[in-house]
């Protein structure tokens, strides 16, 4: 027998002629908005998709390229199944338990309110299909977020489950879709994940309460001084001032105080570290919560400052102001007051400090937004939020001092023996700036820097 001669050379073929691996097939139960958006996103990412529906022939428009069939048939084709249906419709899954055994079931459901059921939806699903591996995930996303892709506001996907292998499969899918996955542990954490979408501005609750409380307190304080006092003592009805004049007194006061509240916890933390001589002891819980909501306090402060600017711009076109100007013009009969250089300096400085303060306000507020702060280094972000933030506080405080000037010397400013509102607004900013200067003293700053670098005071 003649031996078969092997060729010394190997034929080379273009890479495109090699058979490409077939994309992975994923199954989706549910053809609603979320199911359709998820399927569209999976197809765009390179997966194949099959829908399981109770009415395959009349389930509405689906993403192009996706198949649709009965639940049982669809479940047999894929090893990972997204359950995009409400908990009230889970009962039919119990009959599909033989087809779902060994599958990974991703529960994306949520409830209308907390504690609606004795157990989490994912735990209930695991009880219905004990042979499957249930993973709770994707429930914090919306159909809109899936259609438009991840952004800074919804980049994270939470996940929990009892099977590490099943969770890893879901992590790979979520990562390929462009999301960052946070593993919250076992399926016992499913109730916590299901409560996340039900929270209404959880990080804004305390700042909003502070803003509402300050606004209401100062509004009634100004109302008593500027409206009720005028009516009782002089019989004048100045209630029309409530809409603009009173509001324009309250907005800057609340803005200045809330800006201070952004920096008070940092000063408290610094003095606590100086007193303890270490950075390794936890701060009190109330201080931790306060520090976590500083961004929200600052953004609300910027909002009140913006309202103050807008209300100030409409002052010249108000009927009351135009009436007063006309009355003054007629009463003077072409007579003009002597020009006072000192008053010109004060008013120009007052407006200049206000403009500079608001400009820095905008810079600090804009850089606190995730889309902007993500583009900054930590040193740049710290410089803007700390250095420029304190400079903003200084300009705004100086602006208020120039507004008051020597009014505190006038007896008429103390209506019913109450101080003017601007004086109350200056208390906290002045204290904050004084304590900040103390922290900046070389002897204090040097010790605080050593503590934050790991040095600890010797108790002996």
Q: What residue ranges do the domains of the chain occupy?
A: 25-198, 202-332+341-453
**DSSP collapsed to 3 states, the chain:** CCCCCCCCCCCCCCHHHCCCCCCCEEEEECCCHHHHHHHHHHHHHCCEEEEECCCCCCCCCCCCCCEEECHHHHHHHCCEEEECCCHHHHHHHHCCHHHHCCCEEEECCCCCCCCCCCCCHHHHHHHHCCCCEEEEECCCCCHHHHHHCCCHHHCEEEEEECCHHHHHHHHHHHHHCCCEEEECCCHHHHHHHHHHHHCCCHHHHHHHHHHHHHHHHHHHHHHHHHHHHHHHHHCCCCHHHHCCHHHHHHHHHHHHHHHHHHHHHHHHHHHHHHHHCCCCCCCCHHHHHHHHCHHHHHHHHHHHHHHHHHHHHCHHHCHHHHHHHHHHHHHHCCCCCCCCHHHHHHHHHHHHHHHHHHHHHHHHHHHCCHHHHCCCCHHHHHHHHHHHHHHHHHHHHHHHHHHHCCHHHCHHHCHHHCCCHHHHHHHHHHHHHHHHHHHHCHHHHHHHHHHHCCCCCCCC
Q: Is 84 exposed, middle or buried (0-12, 13-18, 19+ CB in 10 A)?
A: buried
**pLDDT tens-digit map of 348-404:** 999 999 999 999 999 999 998 887 888 889 899 999 999 999 999 999 999 999 999
**pLDDT tens-digit map of 179-206:** 889 999 999 999 999 998 888 788 899 9
Topology of domain 25-198 in CATH is Rossmann fold (3.40.50)
Distance of CA 6 to the CA centre of its chain: 69
Residue-wise pLDDT tens for the chain (460 aa)? Answer: 444 444 443 444 444 444 457 789 999 999 889 999 999 999 999 999 999 998 888 877 888 889 999 999 999 999 999 999 999 999 899 999 999 999 999 999 999 888 889 999 999 999 999 999 999 999 988 888 887 766 544 578 999 999 999 999 999 999 999 888 999 999 999 999 999 888 878 889 999 999 999 999 999 999 999 999 999 999 999 999 999 999 999 999 999 999 999 999 999 999 999 999 999 899 999 999 999 999 999 999 999 999 999 999 998 898 888 888 888 778 776 677 788 898 899 999 999 999 999 999 999 999 988 878 888 898 999 999 999 999 999 999 999 999 999 888 888 899 999 999 999 999 999 999 999 999 999 999 999 999 988 888 876 5
CA angle in degrees (0–180, nearest 5) for 168-173-175: 90
Residue count of the chain? 460
Tokens of 193: 């994940």
Residue 243 has a CB neighbour count (10 Å cut-off) of 11
């Amino acid at each position: 027998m003649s031996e078969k001669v092997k060729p010394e050379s190997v034929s080379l073929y273009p890479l495109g002629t090699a058979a490409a691996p077939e994309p992975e097939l994923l199954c989706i139960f549910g053809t609603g908005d979320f199911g359709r958006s998820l399927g569209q996103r999976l197809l765009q990412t390179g997966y194949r998709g099959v829908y399981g529906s109770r009415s395959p022939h009349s389930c509405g428009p689906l993403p192009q390229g996706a198949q649709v069939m009965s639940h049982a048939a669809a479940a047999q084709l894929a090893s990972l199944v997204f359950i995009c249906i409400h908990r009230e419709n889970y009962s039919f899954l119990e009959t599909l338990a033989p087809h779902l055994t060994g599958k990974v079931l991703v529960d994306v459901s949520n409830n209308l309110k907390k504690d609606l059921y004795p157990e989490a939806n994912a735990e209930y699903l695991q009880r219905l299909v004990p042979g499957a591996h249930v993973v709770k995930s994707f429930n914090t996303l919306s159909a809109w977020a899936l259609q438009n892709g991840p952004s800074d506001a919804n980049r994270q996907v939470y996940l929990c489950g009892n099977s590490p292998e099943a969770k890893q499969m879901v992590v790979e899918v979520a990562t390929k879709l462009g999301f960052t996955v946070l593993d919250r542990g076992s399926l016992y954490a499913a109730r916590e994940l299901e409560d996340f979408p039900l929270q209404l501005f959880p990080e804004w609750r305390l700042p909003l309460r502070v803003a509402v409380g300050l606004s209401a307190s100062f509004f009634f304080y100004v109302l008593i001084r500027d409206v009720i006092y005028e009516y009782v003592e002089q019989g004048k009805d100045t209630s029309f001032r409530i809409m603009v004049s009173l509001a324009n007194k309250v907005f800057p006061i609340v803005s200045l105080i809330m800006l201070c509240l952004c920096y008070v916890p940092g000063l408290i933390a610094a003095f606590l570290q100086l007193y303890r001589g270490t950075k390794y002891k936890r701060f009190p819980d109330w201080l931790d919560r306060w520090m976590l909501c500083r961004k929200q306090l600052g953004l609300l402060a910027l909002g009140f400052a913006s309202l103050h600017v807008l209300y100030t711009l409409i002052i010249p076109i108000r009927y009351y102001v135009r009436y007063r100007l006309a009355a003054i013009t007629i009463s003077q009969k072409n007579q003009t007051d002597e020009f006072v250089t000192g008053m010109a300096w004060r008013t120009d400085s007052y407006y200049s400090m206000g403009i500079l303060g608001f400009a820095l306000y905008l810079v600090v507020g804009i850089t606190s937004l995730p889309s902007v702060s993500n583009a900054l280094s930590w040193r740049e972000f710290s410089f803007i939020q700390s250095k420029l933030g304190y400079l903003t506080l200084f300009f705004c405080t100086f602006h208020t001092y120039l507004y008051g000037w020597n009014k505190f010397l006038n007896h008429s400013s103390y209506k019913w023996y109450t101080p003017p509102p601007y004086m109350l607004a200056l208390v906290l900013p002045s204290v904050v700036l004084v304590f900040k200067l103390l922290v900046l003293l070389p002897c204090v700053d040097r010790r605080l820097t050593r503590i934050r670098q790991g040095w600890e005071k010797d108790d002996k």
